[in-house]
């Protein structure tokens, strides 16, 4: 069965290079420059859109977007408030100027449920062209179109856990309410199957009740079962993942716990519905370090990304590297991306040096993937029979 309703496609800006940035301040300054009235349209085109020419249109313009019009429409906005965090690639959070006059397809009907609100979203694909299905991830933020994969056939969809009734209403006097995005027919059938009562909020006690969050965690665990991915490989190529239902309360409870762990890992300890301590709170458990062999003229500049299997290291230049990275962690895929490599190579392409926060973030990615591999194996050990009973 499908366990979530009301999903939708991800954000397509049509001008990522301009409205998305690694650094919020850089983006803010660029938008201010874009709107500065003393700057002519020609100057802005030459500075920011010289390589973006489409057919008969002026540089930067498209059939549905005109640079001159956009400058007028956004010039009086509070630009800092419009900039939001976006999940751009797996574990890769960037800043976006999220305004309908600057983003071609904002997908507000779905993304509004993640703006200034606590939420989780299942990220997946409707179709897959890959031999191995790895197209399941989590978000608590708005999401870019190519987050899961940049393959045309593997366009991403996001399914919010909760739907907020006042997501797009600016009137603060209107009380905002939320409801779960779990389909009613799913609730009825699973309640009868598991012999638990559904509660509309939270996780439930898993003895007499279950809630939307326990369904979400259970699904996330199932979708990370290696056996599930192999057994249903052909079906996963042509449709969204479907959730097999168990009647075993103990198995359900254990899988909910595993799914919860995975969500906490994939959000790097920032699950809005679980404030318990995670491995990210104890550096001693990370078992990875950022090391400098010799003083560099430009510290932590990403120049040459390579994996040293013998020493379990990932180098970013001649003398700086991360330690404690097994080959299966380095090669781990989420959707269409080899995550540890992709994150670094994107920064190499942007000619970036890694900040202290970047170093910490990358080590968290290593930890998250290592622990994900462990939990995926544990999930398969828990499920002793397929189809799940």
Q: What is the model's pLDDT at position 154? A: 81
Q: What is the model's pLDDT at position 155? A: 85
Q: What is the model's pLDDT at position 185? A: 95
Which residue shows structure tokens 């062999």?
293
Q: What is the model's pLDDT at position 171? A: 53
Query: Strand 178-180 vs strand 162-164: parallel, antiparallel, or unpaired?
Result: antiparallel
Three-class SS state of 139? strand
Two tokens, residue 233: 């490989």
Which pTM does this prediction carry? Answer: 0.94
Q: What is the model's pLDDT at position 231? A: 95
Largest Cα–Cα separation, the chain: 69
Q: Residue ranges of the chain with pLDDT lower than 70? A: 1, 166-176, 295-298
User: What does the DSSP 8-state code read for residue 280?
Assistant: G
Residues 144 and 160: their CA atoms lie apart, in Å, by 15
Helix (H) or strand (E) holding 226: helix 226-231
**Using an 8 Å Cβ cutoff, are 96 and 142 in contact?**
yes
**Using an 8 Å Cβ cutoff, are 114 and 144 in contact?**
no
Two tokens, residue 388: 């799940």
> How does pLDDT run across 146-193, given as a tens digit for each residue?
999 988 778 889 999 999 986 555 555 455 689 999 999 999 999 999
Q: Which of 255, 13, 18, 10 is nearest to 139 (CA)?
A: 10
């Amino acid at each position: 069965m499908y366990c979530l309703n009301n999903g939708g496609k991800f954000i397509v800006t049509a001008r990522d290079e301009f409205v998305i940035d690694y650094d919020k301040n850089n983006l803010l300054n660029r938008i201010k420059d874009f709107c500065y009235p003393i700057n002519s349209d020609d100057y802005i085109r030459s500075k920011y859109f010289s390589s973006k020419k489409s057919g008969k249109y002026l540089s930067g313009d498209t059939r549905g977007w005109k640079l001159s019009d956009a400058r007028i429409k956004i010039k009086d906005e509070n630009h800092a408030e419009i900039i939001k965090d976006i999940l751009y690639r797996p574990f890769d959070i960037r800043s976006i100027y999220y305004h309908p006059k600057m983003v071609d397809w904002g997908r507000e009907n779905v993304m509004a449920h993640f703006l200034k609100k606590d939420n989780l979203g299942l990220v997946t694909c409707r179709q897959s062209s890959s031999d191995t299905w790895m197209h399941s991830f989590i978000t608590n933020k708005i999401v870019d179109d190519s987050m899961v994969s940049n393959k045309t056939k593997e366009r991403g969809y996001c399914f919010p856990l909760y739907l907020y009734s006042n997501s797009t209403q600016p009137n603060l006097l209107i009380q905002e309410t939320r409801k779960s995005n779990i389909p009613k027919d799913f609730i009825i059938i699973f309640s009868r199957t598991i012999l638990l009562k559904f509660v509309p909020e939270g996780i439930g006690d898993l003895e007499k009740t279950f809630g939307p969050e326990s369904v979400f965690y259970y699904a996330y665990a199932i979708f990370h079962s290696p056996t599930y991915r192999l057994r249903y490989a052909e079906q996963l190529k042509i449709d969204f993942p479907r959730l097999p239902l168990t009647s075993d309360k103990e198995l359900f409870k254990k899988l909910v716990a595993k799914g919860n762990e995975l969500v906490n890992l994939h959000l790097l300890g920032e699950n809005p519905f679980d404030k318990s301590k995670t491995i990210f709170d104890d550096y001693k458990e990370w078992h990875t370090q950022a090391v400098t062999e010799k003083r560099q003229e430009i510290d932590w500049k990403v120049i040459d990304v390579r994996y040293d299997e013998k020493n379990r290291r990932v180098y970013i230049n001649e003398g700086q590297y991360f330690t404690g990275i097994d080959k299966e962690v380095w090669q781990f895929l989420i959707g269409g991306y080899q995550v540890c490599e992709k994150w670094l190579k994107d920064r190499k392409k942007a000619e970036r040096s890694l900040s202290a926060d970047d170093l910490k973030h990358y080590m968290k990615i290593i930890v998250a993937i290592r622990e994900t591999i462990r939990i995926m194996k544990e999930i398969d050990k828990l499920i002793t029979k397929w189809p799940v009973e």
